[in-house]
Copies of this chain bind each other. A is one copy, B any other.
Amino acid sequence: MTVTPRHDGRAPDQLRDIRITRNWLDHAEGSALIEFGRTRVLVAASFTEGVPRWLKGQGTGWVTSEYEMLPRSTNTRSDRESRKGKVGGRTHEISRLIGRSLRAIIDTSALGENTIVVDCDVLQADGGTRTASITGAYVALADAVADARARGLIAKNAKPLTDSVAAISVGIVGGVPVLDLDYPEDSTAETDMNVVMTGSGGFVEVQGTAEGAPFDRDELNALLDLAAGGIATLTSLQHEALSGEARERAL
């Protein structure tokens, strides 16, 4: 792939600096502060006994997610959705995407009748907040599952996690397919795609949108190739974060 000048000097297939600070919170069963460059998302996984009413008595658990942006995570302040009294369409859409992505690698029958809610709160936004959320959410979820097993809330031999999951954005910027768009790139991309994949390389979700002109099969293929490479790196970073001791919060 030819190296094209990106505004921050990255190669087209280069991720931003990725940092995962595991256990950033003291109360949550699992948590992480994940950073994709200047994008910073605080993820907290909360394990609670019981399931929503529509699932009761079926012996299976539930994993869901809520995403939200702090009002000044963005360049100019946005109104709080709590003050507006309603949750916007974009917030709903991303919350649903994260939930689906996590459920793709969870065997809910192995959870018992328990619920894990994964909150993804964007502290600072610079593009890629949904992909950072999914990538960090897996780390928090894995810790919440481990914690539940350690406390005997799920069976010792239960394996609710069937794989890992991570996500990355790709897009066509200035005619060139690039990986992990930051906000300036995202807002000028001709095509924008978010790809969610498992650690073993299967697709969980592919969402491509033509922002300007429609895209063709070749462009689609180039973007999927880029994404697969990026996700492989994120998968490594997740495993690294989860291996060994939970690091002290390094604030």
Binding site for B on A (CB under 8 A): 19, 21, 25-28, 31, 33, 38, 42, 44, 46, 48, 66, 68, 70-77, 80-83, 85-93, 95-96, 100, 104, 117, 119, 121, 123-124, 126, 163, 193, 197-198, 200-210, 213-217, 220, 224, 250-251
Contacts and interface: CB of A to CB of B under 8 A. Distances in A.
30 contacts: A26-B126, A31-B72, A42-B123, A44-B70, A46-B72, A46-B76, A66-B71, A70-B119, A83-B87, A85-B85, A86-B86, A86-B87, A89-B92, A89-B95, A92-B93, A123-B123, A163-B214, A200-B214, A202-B216, A203-B208, A203-B210, A203-B217, A204-B209, A204-B214, A205-B209, A206-B206, A206-B208, A217-B224, A250-B251, A251-B251
A73 B119 CA distance: 11
A153 to B, nearest CB: 14
A4 to B, nearest CB: 22
A126 B28 CA distance: 13
A4 B8 CA distance: 51
Given A26-B38, A210-B104, A251-B21, A202 B215 contact: yes
Report the copy number of this chain in the oligomer. 6
A215 B200 CA distance: 11
Nearest to A91: B82
Nearest to A77: B46
Report which residue of A92, A104, A224 has the largest number of chain B beta carbons within 10 angstroms of its beta carbon: A92
Report which residue of A26, A87, A200 has the largest number of chain B beta carbons within 10 angstroms of its beta carbon: A87
Contacts of A76: 46, 48
Contacts of A100: 209
